Structure 1
Amino acid sequence: MKKLILSFALSMFSLTAFAQNQYEKVMTEKIDKIEACKTPEDFNALANDFQRIADKEKGKWQPSYYAAFSHIQKGRVLMRENKMSELDAVADQAQKFVDQAEEADKNNSEIYLLQKMIYSLKMMVNPMERYMTFGTKADETLKKAEQLNPQNPRVTLIKAEDVYFTPEQFGGSKKKGMELFQSALEKFNSFKPKTSLDPNWGKSEAEYFLSLPAEK
């Protein structure tokens, strides 16, 4: 009887380990595709892939996180294409998955940073009318993300973007932005994700901005 119980326990352990390995393999494959995405359609398809994983893997924050991140990246592409009227719908899609991720893992700096990025997308639909609402929320959420993990390089990266692209009359500064990009890169160089599936994006963006010629 003891041998039977032991055999059953070992079988269950093997099945659990196999399922976890398959989950990590599929997640890694999808995460590796993020940098290859270029169009809104690319990011939308990837978000759907992560959503399917999230539906199966209840209680794990990373699939929902990456579904939200894919929608946010889709929004950032649309913003560069000046399609501001589409940002609300994209931000709402991202919000659904950020809520799921936060439910699975409270007080996570990475998730708060995505919330900040969602508020920023909302604000960009009409910055003059929405700054006092979504702009303020974005600033508050960024501060919370930094409080939770001051060494998170993505927090410094997004802060650098904000400062770099904000006109000087509204408190922005190209010089200060570049200093923050340098600080972000230094944090990236020493940063180690807790697991292989935790966020590790952003370093190439900091490097890109630092490669730009200094403005006179």
Structure 2
Amino acid sequence: MKKYLLSFALAFMSLTSFAQADYEKIMAEKIAKTETCKTPEEFQALANDFQRIGSKESSKWLPPYYAAFSQIQKGRLMMRNGNMQELDETAAQADKYLATAQNLAGADNAEIHLLRKMAASLRMMVNPAQRYMTDGAKATEELGIAERLDPSNPRIALIKAEDVYFTPEQYGGSKTKGMEMFKEAITKFNAYKPKTALDPNWGRAEAEYFISMPAK
């Protein structure tokens, strides 16, 4: 009897290991696509892919995290193209995924709080004058939480640099200061090591893009 139980246990462990390897392979492939998607439609399809992975791997926080990230990247592209009409819905979808991710990862996850900041910023951009005191304040709060939890995180430094760079000077922004902050973000990227191969590691290319821009 012990022999059969041992065989069953070994078979179960093998299946579990195979399933984990399969999950990691699929996730790695999809995460790589977050760097190559060029349109809102491609990011939406990627968010759907992560949602499907999350429905099968319901105990893991990374699939809903990346679904939210894909939604946010979709929204940022829409914003750059001047399409503000769907930003509220896009941010709401991101927040839905982030709620799931936070339930699984816990409240002390800086990466999730940073995406909450980015989602709030998307909502604010629909009407900055009216929403600065609500969504703008929420974005500031979430960024502060993320920074307290993980002050060495380069993605936090990147988003802070973006905020300074794109904010008009009359409201406290500065392209010169923003550029210096992008350089600080690169220094943090050089020192930062993700906990696993699947953990968030995005942002370096964007910081490098800004640094490579000719001085004005």
TM-score, normalised via structure 2 length? 0.98
Q: Give the aligned partner of residue 41 of structure 2.
A: 41
Deviations 1:51-108 (A, max 9, x none): 0001111121100000000000000000001011110011111111010000001111
Q: What is the deviation of 1:170?
A: 0.4
Q: What is the deviation of 1:182?
A: 0.6
Q: Give the aligned partner of residue 168 of structure 1.
A: 169
Q: Give the aligned partner of residue 86 of structure 2.
A: 86
Deviations 1:97-134 (A, max 9, x none): 01000000111110000000000000000000000100
SS at match of 1:35: coil
Alignment of structure 1 residues 148-163 onto 2, 5 Å: 148-163=149-164
Q: Distance in 2 between matches of 1:47 and 1:195?
A: 21
SS at match of 1:36: coil
SS at match of 2:85: helix
Q: Give the aligned partner of residue 104 of structure 2.
A: 104
Q: Distance in 2 between matches of 1:131 and 1:102?
A: 25
Q: Give the aligned partner of residue 148 of structure 2.
A: 147
Q: Give the aligned partner of residue 21 of structure 2.
A: 21
Q: Give the aligned partner of residue 191 of structure 2.
A: 190
Alignment of structure 1 residues 44-59 onto 2, 5 Å: 44-59=44-59
Identity %: 65
Q: Distance in 2 between matches of 1:10 and 1:2?
A: 12
Q: Distance in 1 between matches of 2:177 and 2:143?
A: 17
SS at match of 1:85: coil
- AA aligned to 2:198 is L
SS at match of 1:84: coil
Runs (5+) with no aligned partner, structure 1:
none
Q: What is the deviation of 1:212?
A: 1.1
**Runs of 4+ with deviation above 3 angstroms:** none
Q: Distance in 2 between matches of 1:11 and 1:86?
A: 49
Q: What is the deviation of 1:213?
A: 1.6
Q: What is the deviation of 1:5?
A: 1.3
Q: Distance in 1 between matches of 2:214 and 2:43?
A: 30
Does structure 1 residue 125 correspond to structure 2 residue 140?
A: no
**Aligned pair count?**
215
Q: What is the deviation of 1:12?
A: 0.8
SS at match of 2:72: helix
